[in-house]
Each structure stands twice: as C-alpha cells, then as structure tokens.
Amino acid sequence: MPDEAQETNQDTKSVKLDRPYLIVLGNEKGGCGKSTTAMHIVVSLLRSGYRVGTIDLDARQKSLTRYIENRRAFATSKGIDLPMPLEKVVPKSELRSADDAEADEKARFEATYVDLMDHVDVMVVDCPGSDTYLSRLAHTAADTLVTPVNDSFVDLDLLARVDADTHKMIGPSLYAEMVWKARQRRSVADGGHIDWVILRNRVGSLHAKNKGRVEKVLNELSKRIGIRHIPGLGERVIYRELFLKGLTLMDLKDSGGLDGRGMTMSHVAARQELRALMDGLNLPFLSEQEV
C-alpha cells in the first residue's frame, strides 16, 4: 500500500475530512454509463488534488478496473504522468450458505474500506448492474449515490412505475424501493443521509415531448422520495474511444488529445458537460473553484 499511496499523492493537496467520502455508482441495469461516469468523477477529483480510491464490486466484468488498467498501460507506453487512483476489487463470496456468503462479503467490503481509508480522501464505488448483497452494502454506506440512466422510460422503469396512457407516476419501482430501504438502514446505523442523484444521460438526442414526460416523472419522484436529477453525459463517440486508452475528458490536454489530434469543439463541449455534472453533484467538500 505505501508505494501505491505515494503514486496517488503526486500533485495533491491536503484535504481535511473526518473520514473518506463515499460516492457510489449504482443502477440495476447495465449499459447506462456507470463505469464511464465513475472514471470521470475519479479523474476530476484527482485533478482537483484529492486522493481517490476505487472499489469495483463487479468482479466479473470489472469495467472500472479495466478502465484504470488501460490508463496505467497508456501512461507507461507514452511515458507520461497521469493521476491514478488506488483501485480495489471485492469479489462475490463463493460460500454456498447464503448467510455465510453475506457475512463473508460484508467482512471483505469492510476490510477493503479499512485498507483504503488512511490513504484516500474519497472512495468511488462501482456496483454491478444487478441486485447483489455487496451492492446493497455499498448503497447503505453511500454519502452520495449516483444513478446514471438513459433518458427513456425503459431505464425509468427501474425507478418508477408509470401509467402507459397518462405517463403519470403510479409509484416507486424495485430499485427505488431498494434505495429507500438502504436510506432507512443508514439512518438507523449512524444517523447519516444518502444524497441520491439521478444522472440523465444522452438527453440531447431525444424528442422534446418524451424528454418532458420523463422529466415530469422524475420531478414527481423527487417529491415522493427525495431524489435530485441533473444532466449527465451526452451521446458522444469519444467516451467509447477514451475507454481503450484509459483516458477521460480531463486528460486530453495533457495527452495531446486522442491520437495526437488535439482538442476538438466536440471535446470542449463534452468537458463543459462534465463540469456541469460535477457541479450538479454538489459534493460538500468541493469549493466552487474546484468544480
């Protein structure tokens, strides 16, 4: 751990937090941009001077971990310094008994947290796109829960049940109920609060009427269960290209852009989206100058 911590401490500033702040990326649906969003949050915080650790709970796909591995390989091949997080993976238990498996996973998750806590200011947790015990543990521990969704009723179905004719919200759906229970457990455990933020990804490509209907449902959900919803990342090819190099929008100036092409107007617009996203998260330890 000391060597890794030294790598992460480069170009950082002293941040006074009582304990690491926990940002959890969660959604029980794949393909919504959790890992891409997580990596951009990680690098934005690293470049603001914070020491960041990542915990990947999807030990099968390990999308966030693969992103970080690609980043390390790219930096080595190009001979450049890129800020790096401390990354950890927590696999599912292989014990057969459900009770034993849950106890094992709880111990692994807590041990990983303890292993990182003295070396980081912020932890970013990437959950699998399914309902697992590890995911529920992370949701309960979250200070900020970020749920990226594609701005459509297909993705919204996990958050709310919607009347097909009126497009009005009937009630919270499975995932929203799971988060509600996580909030209750957190309140009982330490009196803490989970700030739940819905990221509306790929909003720009949608028909205005459908976008308005989705927004109405989210507004109603906000009133009922206390969520916030903000614009997320747009539908841009660059995000898929960045993954292979382990880069984010915040790295393009230092790395000379993709394939040395430099920054394009599309890249500049995407960076503005990211700044708006970080501002919208309203992380309590960030100053306005850092966002």
CB 108 within 8 A of CB 5: no
- Domain containing residue 19: CATH number: 3.40.50.300
Note whether residue 287 is domain-resident: no
Contacts of 101 (CB under 8 A, 6+ apart): 92, 93, 94, 95, 133
Please give the Cα distance from 254 to 82 (Å, whole number).
8
Note whether residue 123 is domain-resident: yes
Please give the Cα distance from 55 to 112 (Å, whole number).
8
The percent helix, strand, coil of the chain (3-state, each to 5) is 50, 15, 35
Note whether residue 273 is domain-resident: yes
Quote the pLDDT of residue 258. 61
Note whether residue 290 is domain-resident: no
Look at the chain and report how many structural domains it folds into: 1
Quote the pLDDT of residue 262. 65
Give one DSSP letter per residue of 101-128, joined into a string. HHHHHHHHHHHHHHHHHTT-SEEEEE--
Highest mean pLDDT among 225-239, 246-260, 273-287: 273-287
Note whether residue 161 is domain-resident: yes
Task: Centre a 10 Å sphere on the Cβ of residue 289 and count the other Cβ atoms it contains.
Answer: 6
Predicted confidence (pLDDT) at residue 2 exceeds the cutoff of 60: no
Domain that holds residue 54: 2-281
Please give the Cα distance from 42 to 123 (Å, whole number).
9
Q: Long-range contacts for 109-112 (Cβ within 8 Å, ≥24 apart)? A: 109/55, 109/134, 109/137, 109/138, 112/55, 112/88
Note whether residue 145 is domain-resident: yes
User: Is the pTM value of this prediction over 0.85?
Assistant: yes
Q: 76-101, pLDDT tens digit by residue?
A: 998 999 999 999 999 999 999 999 99
Note whether residue 286 is domain-resident: no
Note whether residue 164 is domain-resident: yes
CB 23 within 8 A of CB 125: yes
Task: Centre a 10 Å sphere on the Cβ of residue 150 and count the other Cβ atoms it contains.
Answer: 22
